[in-house]
């Protein structure tokens, strides 16, 4: 019985911690840019619920979204997924 209670408490704590994670509150266009090789990209600023601001870069006509600057490898296919990753 104690094992069941411990598992329930652990699950509740894990769920609660996830609900307090920072979430994106706004995504605003910042600027267009171009790498040395001519590849175009756009930068956006993500504002998170905890007050931090993070940069996103959009590639391939906004089909690829990366957390951070033009050199980032943390990329997603959806803007919202990249924004959530930036706020973690």
Residue 44 near residue 55 (C-beta atoms within 8 A): yes
pTM for the full predicted model: 0.73
**Residue showing tokens 């905890």:** 50
Phi and psi at residue 32, in whole multiples of 5°? -100, 150
Tens digit of pLDDT at every position of the chain (88 positions): 555 555 555 554 444 445 568 999 999 999 999 999 999 999 999 999 999 999 999 999 999 999 998 778 899 999 999 999 999 9
Task: Give every strand in the sheet of 75-76, ordered side by side.
Answer: 24-34, 40-48, 53-59, 64-67, 75-76
């Amino acid at each position: 019985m104690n094992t069941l209670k411990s598992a329930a408490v652990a699950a509740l704590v894990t769920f609660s911690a996830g609900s307090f994670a920072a979430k994106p509150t706004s995504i605003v266009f910042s600027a267009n840019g171009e790498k040395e090789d001519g590849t175009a990209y756009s930068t956006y600023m993500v504002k998170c619920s905890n007050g931090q601001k993070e940069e996103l870069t959009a590639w391939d006509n906004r089909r690829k979204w990366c957390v951070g600057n033009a050199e980032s490898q943390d990329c997603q296919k959806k803007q919202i997924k990249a924004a959530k990753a930036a706020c973690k």
